[in-house]
Each structure stands twice: as structure tokens, then as C-alpha cells.
Amino acid sequence: MRRLALAGLAFACASTMAVAQSGRAQRGFTFAQTNCSQCHAIGRVGESPIPEAPPFRTLHTRYPIEDLAEAFAEGITTGHPSMPQFQLDPAQINDLLAYLNSIQG
């Protein structure tokens, strides 16, 4: 009986974490859709509207996704002037990283 209760508790915790992660990823998707999709492909498929803007699903080939947290916190700057500078708060960073991790190929 105790094993069953522990298994139920573990399942409930895992389910809660998955829902929380899903919520973070959804908020990250909303941020990306609002702020990034004009230039970048933000989904699992499709081409970027601006060919020079890398699709988000391929970012892991350029950078470890978790390493982007610092850039998001300090403000992303790039070598091309059309990219706006973004400086995200910690919650936005966690949300966007969760989304980016969810779509990597």
C-alpha cells in the first residue's frame, strides 16, 4: 500500500512539473510569436521570413540553449541593425528557454 502511495505521489509531482513546464513553454511561445516571428521561424517547421534570421529550432546548433539566458538578461545585440535589442526579465527568460528547448530538432 505504501509503495502505491509513493508511486502516486511521484506521478502527481511529475505531472505538476510537466504542466508547469508546459505553461512556461506556452508563455515562451507567446513571447516569441509577439516579438520574434516577424523575422525568425519560431516553430518546429518553416522558413524564417528573413533568410538571415536563424530558425529557432536550429539555435542549439549554434549555442547551448541554456547559455542564451545570460544574453537574454543582458540584452541581445547582433551584428545587424534591424534586430531590436531585447532585455528580458528572469520569468521571461525561463519561459523562452523552456519554449526553445521544446522545439529543438
Query: pLDDT 10s digit of each residue in the chain, 105 long?
Result: 545 444 444 444 433 334 445 899 999 999 999 999 999 999 999 999 999 899 999 999 988 999 889 888 887 766 566 777 778 899 999 999 999 999 997
**Residues 6 or more apart from 68 whose CB is under 8 A from it?**
59, 97, 100
> How far is residue 101's CA from residue 50's CA, in Å, rounded to a whole number?
22
**What span, in angstroms and rounded, lies between the C-alpha atoms of 2 and 62?**
47
- Domains (range + CATH), the chain: 24-103 (1.10.760.10)
The predicted pLDDT at position 74 comes to: 82
Give the separation between CA 58 and CA 53, rounded to whole angstroms: 11
* pLDDT at site 34: 94
**How confident is the model at residue 79, as a pLDDT?**
57
With 0.85 as the threshold, say if the pTM is over it.
Answer: no
Distance CA(6)–CA(90), nearest Å, equals 33
Give me the pLDDT at residue 22, please: 84
In this prediction, residue 80 carries a pLDDT of: 61
**What is d(CA 90, CA 30) in angstroms, rounded to the nearest whole number?**
16
Which alpha helices (H) appear in the chain, and where do they start and end?
2-35, 68-74, 90-103
Structural contact between residues 65 and 29, judged by C-beta atoms closer than 8 angstroms: no
